[in-house]
Structure 1
Amino acid sequence: MQNKHTTKRNEFSGEIAVIVATDENNAIGKKGNLLCHLPNDLKHFKQITEHHTVVMGRKTFESLPKGALPNRKNIVLTSQKHAEFTNCIVCHSLDEVWQHCENEDKVFFIGGEQIYRQIIDRANTLYLTRIHHTFDDADTFFPVIDPDDWTLVEEKKQDADEKHPFNYTFFTYIRNDK
Structure 2
Amino acid sequence: MNNIYAIVAMTKKTNSIGIDGHMLYHLKDDLKYFKETTMDHAIICGRKTYFSFPKRPLPGRKNIILTRSFDSYEGAFTLHSKDEVLEYAKNNPDEKVFICGGDNVYKQFMDVVSKLYITEIDEEEPVIADSYFPEVDPEIWEVESASAYVKEDGAPKYRFMVYSRK
Distance 1:26 1:83 in 2: 32
Q: Do 2:16 and 2:127's aligned partners in 1 also have CA atoms closer than 8 Å?
A: no
Q: Do 2:68 and 2:80's aligned partners in 1 also have CA atoms closer than 8 Å?
A: yes
After TM superposition, the structure 1 = structure 2 runs for residues 22-101 of structure 1, keeping only pairs within 5 Å, are: 22-23=10-11, 24-80=13-69, 82-101=70-89
Q: Do 2:57 and 2:63's aligned partners in 1 also have CA atoms closer than 8 Å?
A: yes
Question: Is 1:140 paired with 2:131?
Answer: yes
After TM superposition, the structure 1 = structure 2 runs for residues 99-138 of structure 1, keeping only pairs within 5 Å, are: 99-101=87-89, 102-105=91-94, 106-133=96-123, 134-138=125-129
Q: Specify whether residues 135 and 88 from structure 1 end up closer, same or farther in structure 2 by C-alpha distance, changes over 3 A only.
A: farther
Distance 2:67 2:10 in 1: 23
Shift of 1:104: 4.0
Structure 1 residue runs of 5 or longer lacking an equivalent are 1-11
Deviations 1:37-94 (A, max 9, x none): 10100000111110011100011001001111111111100122x2222211111112
Distance 1:58 1:84 in 2: 11
Distance 2:159 2:113 in 1: 20
| Partner AA of 2:164 in structure 1 | I
Q: Do 1:57 and 1:112's aligned partners in 2 also have CA atoms closer than 8 Å?
A: yes
Aligned residues: 162
Tell me the secondary structure at the aligned position of residue 44 of structure 1. Answer: helix
TM-score, with structure 1 as normaliser: 0.85
Distance 2:42 2:119 in 1: 20
Shift of 1:135: 4.9
Tell me the secondary structure at the aligned position of residue 126 of structure 1. Answer: strand
Distance 2:128 2:60 in 1: 33
Which of 145, 152, 160 is the equivalent residue of 2:151?
160
- Aligned CA RMSD, in angstroms, stands at 1.5
Q: Do 1:57 and 1:78's aligned partners in 2 also have CA atoms closer than 8 Å?
A: yes
Identity of counterpart residues, as a percentage?
39
Q: Specify whether residues 64 and 135 from structure 1 end up closer, same or farther in structure 2 by C-alpha distance, changes over 3 A only.
A: farther
TM-score, with structure 2 as normaliser: 0.91
Q: Do 1:35 and 1:135's aligned partners in 2 also have CA atoms closer than 8 Å?
A: no
Tell me the secondary structure at the aligned position of residue 122 of structure 1. Answer: coil
Instruction: Please identify the structure whose Cα radius of gyration is greater.
Output: 1
